[in-house]
Structure 1
Amino acid sequence: MSAARIIIAICMADLRQRLRTPRMWVLLGALAAASWWSFPPADADYLAVWFGAGARAYYSSAWIGLVISSIYGGLLSLVGFYVVRGTVVRDLEAGTWQILVATPMNRAGYLLAKWLSHVVLFVLVLAAGIAVGLVAQQVRGEVTTLDLIELLKPVLLIALPALAISATFAVWFDLVPWLRRSAGNILYFFVWTFLMTGSIVRGAGAWPGDPQGMMAVQQALAKGADLPAGFAKGGLSIGGQSLQGKAPVLFEWTHWQVGLDVLASRGFWLAVAVLGLLAAAPLLDRFAAHRGGARAASTEGRRLRLLDVLLAPLRWTAFGALVSAEVSLALRPRRWRWFLAMAAIFAAQAFAPEKGLVAAILAGWLLSMDHFARAVLREHDTRTGALVFTAPGMRQRLLAARVLTGIGMAWLVTLPALVRLGVQNPTAAVAVAVAGVSIAVWGLALGALFRNARPFELVLVAAAYVSLQGALVLDALADPMSTLTGHAIALPIAVAMLLTAWRPLVARVA
């Protein structure tokens, strides 16, 4: 009972701290509002969750629960990771862990409390989505009978195991020192993508299915959906599909007959989440010894004596000295592995074929993304704003220096590509340069707006991923003018956002 009280106390303390911030309520409200668009009326020209070639069920309790579980189990397991992670890092870096370890609490109990606080927050988000779904069920009026069991069945079997795994990853990525910041944010996106697609590639019948439970739902719909004769059932899809003026195919699905195989597969993934969490308990003290932050910063960059020579002309003016200091802070803390990886990226940018060139450009930006959003938060994280902003005009000069440094970093890590494209395809070279400016400014803007680097890092990783799949977001070679135009249009928005968010950020830390 004592251990249970400690676990509950830590969990509730974390939850209260999160719910005190207005940003969390804004997030809950935004996700709940977005849920409404997941239930379009029958005459709408789109579907959010559909089966086969444009079919959905009447809005019964079972289908409402399925839609919420499918969307939140998949997308919230990605976005939620970036929202909940950081509580363990905060305890380790603030020295709270040393106090907690002196209490009767054991290591497994501490990790379980942190994990539970993540899961409870996910449940709150799910509850908001379910509430919106219930309103939609009554407003749409297709099946107004409320069946709580069928409503909650998909939530418990589909969404909960998926979100439990995401919570376990959030704890592990907070513990492992090199995964606590940008590297972990990048890696988790690809881990999530693998988990989403790995089981699908292996086949729908492969046990235990995918962690998100999409294969289980797809098989249930294939067996139980009462579709018109000749309709191609296909698979379950989540996102947005335009019907191009056609009416959706509606079918009746008010009950999910859950088999033992589904219970076993979903129980397997829930057990994986819990056992994976407890596996970290024996390593907790070792991980806690690496407290991170400024104390763990690498000093290998101090060997960059050439950097002092290159930056020396900048120090002739006060603003130049400030830019020089920002460049030093961006490069000197980096470890030798970063420079080695950047050398390989430079070689690929210089000699790789077009597809490899695009990948190398994206890799250069991704490898440096910790600078773009975190630079604007330096005084916020180190609590040095009261000292830094006492200098006359420092607010304007420091922002200008960081904008220039961010743009310089975006261009520096793509320098071989810019030189090569400047000779072979000047329009593409300009598009890459403008995209670099856009990345730098958007990184500063989102970092200042959210006072956290994770939203920008998630956006950049997602943009890089879709660009590798052929999107023009950051692919400046497929259609340089379209990429150039898109970033040129978005750039003034980023500048306005940065100027708007910078003032309250400075007022907070000064």
Structure 2
Amino acid sequence: MRGSVQRFAAMLLADLRERTRSPRFWVVLGLMVVASWLCFPPPGSNYMILSLPGSERGFYSSAWVGMVLASVFSTLLSLCGFYLVRGTLVRDIDTRVWQLLVATPMTRGGYLLAKWASHMVVFALIAAVALCVGLVAQWVRAEDRSIHLFELVKPVLLLNLPGLAVTAMLAIWFDLLPWLRRTAGNVIFFFLWITMLTVPLARVESPSSTMLREGWVSDTHGMILMARDFHRSQEQRMGKPAGFGFNIGSPAAAQGARKFEWTSWQVRPMDMLGRAVWLVFGMAGVLLAAPLLDWAASRASTTARSGASPGRRLRWLDRLLAPLARGPTAIMAIAELRLSLRQRRAWWWLLALVAMGAQAFGKGDALHLGLLLAWVLPLDMLARNILREVDNGTGGLVFTAPRILHRLLTARFATSFGLLVALSLPGLIRLSATAPMSAVAVLVVCASIASWALCLSALCRNPRPFELVLLIAAYLSSQSAPIFDVALAPQATAAWHLALMLPAWLGLAWAWPKLASVTNRRSS
């Protein structure tokens, strides 16, 4: 027993040490520090992070600070944390380290539990730093300077711990199943995350949902539990029926927020049981994956399989691109574009036709959604374009050529930009005839997306940050956010995307030589 605990702890510490050396960990930690501070705006600010119907919020007590941060963790950390921690199991499988680990007396279930525990420790470190920032904000805002650590931590333990346990379990499963290990898994989790947040709250807003409103059942991230307790608290204060629900991120009322005392969160035992169910579910899900470990490890990684497959012949593509093959850089860009497109499956080409059809024949929102699909469809190619040598281990061969950095970067940008323009071509042709400025905005957006794909992937040396950013931007744009508004405000969209390209290329100018140097050393 003691030996098993020591092996478990040793693996946990080694995995944690490896994670904290990653730039991604410190980037996410820095973002959470900034986000935590912005959660507590001073009086007179034009926004509130957590509020109740009627523009109400609690005084900045320890209990309310904990509730605010718990609501942020339920949304931001549950999403970003998944992309931060996933990939460690894939790395062990690809490098065959797992074979050495399971050759020891450690069981496969113990190995996966150690991975899950290391995910949870990473989440705990980020949450602990954010809670410290919350305490500083409580003292600085000076609405209630009484420090109660248990009340501060209680919402995080009851709301976030079970939800993050499920997130860590999903990271294990998405690493285990070969078809979910790369971009497809990242996209699927993003929409799964949206579903887990929105569907339970939509159901609880129905007047007929008595069990959700009054029972012990809760959703993965505890949003229903928050809504229930806020509703009870508000009705007790007002002495009359109150609206059901709460707001995360809302504009402040013109007359300012109405504040109330929230010094303690009284949780019913039955609600604790409901949260414990999700914690047990997360751990049980990890153990259920143990019998699949050998099967998953025996399958070639998606990267290896895609690199080994010759792909489709696509003779029509060769004939189409042949006139453009003029000069070394153009030849290089066309060769990389052919290589990427030949690996595309039939469903990808079908979705490309759907996107082009929506652009060619759709009206209003259909045209907009067709463009969004065209920009998201090559997500994996955009995110991994500049990381090709990292994925294939060919840096020692490629980066020894003279003046290769400039030529290769130009070819990579041309590949990404050209692919986006090609997928947007029906919309471009149509807009050129009816709204030329909108067509210009489409070209600028394509250049901006291609630039930031190269920049973020080079800076983070990982495709997931860009994949997450583009998915969020596309989703918000589909919900009427003016991020890619090329129809109603083309000049403004083109102007701010042009402005955003400057920091992208400055970051790329710094990160690309460093990435090439590191990749060259590792491949030599």
Alignment match, 1:101: 102
Is the deviation greater in 270-279 or in 189-198? 270-279
Alignment match, 2:170: 169
Residue among 363, 366, 379 paired with 1:356: 366
In the TM superposition, what is the alpha-carbon distance from 1:44 to its structure 2 partner? 3.7
In 2, Cα distance between equivalents of 1:354 and 1:104: 62
Residue among 389, 393, 401 paired with 1:379: 389
Alignment match, 2:331: 321
Residues matched between the structures, number: 509
In the TM superposition, what is the alpha-carbon distance from 1:112 to its structure 2 partner? 1.0
Alignment match, 2:79: 78
In the TM superposition, what is the alpha-carbon distance from 1:276 to its structure 2 partner? 2.2
Alignment match, 1:260: 269
Q: Deviations over 1:207-249 (max 9, x none)?
A: 62321112211221222257568896553222252444x3321
In the TM superposition, what is the alpha-carbon distance from 1:19 to its structure 2 partner? 1.4
Alignment match, 2:295: 286
Alignment match, 2:156: 155
In the TM superposition, what is the alpha-carbon distance from 1:106 to its structure 2 partner? 1.9
In 2, Cα distance between equivalents of 1:183 and 1:403: 23
Alignment match, 1:31: 32
In the TM superposition, what is the alpha-carbon distance from 1:52 to its structure 2 partner? 1.9
Mind listing any 5+ residue stretches in structure 1 that lack a counterpart?
Answer: none
CA contact (8 A) 1:208 1:268 kept: no
Alignment match, 1:441: 451
CA contact (8 A) 2:112 2:286 kept: yes
CA contact (8 A) 1:73 1:160 kept: no
Alignment match, 2:115: 114
Whether 2:254 is the aligned partner of 1:248: answer no
CA contact (8 A) 1:411 1:433 kept: yes
In the TM superposition, what is the alpha-carbon distance from 1:460 to its structure 2 partner? 0.5
CA contact (8 A) 1:214 1:236 kept: no
- Structure 1 segment 207-218 matched on structure 2, within 5 A: 208-218=217-227
Is the deviation greater in 416-425 or in 254-263? 416-425
Is the deviation greater in 387-396 or in 91-100? 91-100
In the TM superposition, what is the alpha-carbon distance from 1:144 to its structure 2 partner? 2.4
Alignment match, 2:199: 198
Is the deviation greater in 392-401 or in 342-351? 342-351
In the TM superposition, what is the alpha-carbon distance from 1:29 to its structure 2 partner? 3.5
SS at match of 2:311: helix
Whether 2:108 is the aligned partner of 1:141: answer no
Paired letter, 1:346: M
Paired letter, 1:284: L
Alignment match, 1:221: 230
CA 1:404–1:150 in 2, change beyond 3 Å: closer, same or farther?
same
CA contact (8 A) 1:300 1:336 kept: no
Computed over aligned residues only, the root mean square deviation of the Cα atoms, in angstroms, reads 2.2
CA contact (8 A) 1:86 1:174 kept: yes
CA contact (8 A) 2:179 2:302 kept: no
SS at match of 1:280: helix
Paired letter, 2:42: P
In the TM superposition, what is the alpha-carbon distance from 1:125 to its structure 2 partner? 0.7
Q: Deviations over 1:327-357 (max 9, x none)?
A: 1232122223322332333333322333222
CA 1:471–1:41 in 2, change beyond 3 Å: closer, same or farther?
closer
CA contact (8 A) 2:441 2:493 kept: yes
CA contact (8 A) 1:468 1:475 kept: no
Is the deviation greater in 323-332 or in 308-317? 308-317
In the TM superposition, what is the alpha-carbon distance from 1:46 to its structure 2 partner? 3.0
SS at match of 1:239: strand
TM-score by length of 1: 0.93
In 1, Cα distance between equivalents of 2:145 and 2:182: 47
CA 1:215–1:305 in 2, change beyond 3 Å: closer, same or farther?
same
In 1, Cα distance between equivalents of 2:514 and 2:237: 55
Is the deviation greater in 312-321 or in 97-106? 312-321
Paired letter, 1:144: R
In 2, Cα distance between equivalents of 1:316 and 1:71: 52
In the TM superposition, what is the alpha-carbon distance from 1:508 to its structure 2 partner? 1.9
Whether 2:239 is the aligned partner of 1:238: answer no
In 1, Cα distance between equivalents of 2:144 and 2:172: 41
In 2, Cα distance between equivalents of 1:278 and 1:122: 20
Paired letter, 1:191: L
Whether 2:342 is the aligned partner of 1:332: answer yes
Is the deviation greater in 271-280 or in 372-381? 271-280
Is the deviation greater in 161-170 or in 499-508? 499-508
CA 1:80–1:59 in 2, change beyond 3 Å: closer, same or farther?
same
CA contact (8 A) 1:445 1:501 kept: yes
Whether 2:514 is the aligned partner of 1:504: answer yes
SS at match of 1:53: coil
Mind listing any 5+ residue stretches in structure 2 that lack a counterpart?
Answer: none
CA contact (8 A) 1:314 1:323 kept: no
**Identity in percent:** 45
Paired letter, 2:305: A
Residue among 301, 310, 319 paired with 1:309: 319
SS at match of 1:279: helix
CA contact (8 A) 2:66 2:152 kept: yes
Q: Deviations over 1:84-130 (max 9, x none)?
A: 11101111111212222322222221211111111110011111111
In 2, Cα distance between equivalents of 1:176 and 1:476: 38
In 1, Cα distance between equivalents of 2:45 and 2:189: 35
In 1, Cα distance between equivalents of 2:164 and 2:333: 43
CA contact (8 A) 2:196 2:220 kept: yes
Paired letter, 1:29: G
SS at match of 2:409: helix
- Structure 1 segment 392-471 matched on structure 2, within 5 A: 392-471=402-481
CA contact (8 A) 2:181 2:302 kept: no
- Structure 1 segment 3-14 matched on structure 2, within 5 A: 3-14=4-15
Q: Deviations over 1:31-55 (max 9, x none)?
A: 2233122122334443222222322
In 1, Cα distance between equivalents of 2:362 and 2:270: 48
TM-score by length of 2: 0.91
SS at match of 2:50: strand
SS at match of 2:248: strand
CA 1:94–1:403 in 2, change beyond 3 Å: closer, same or farther?
same
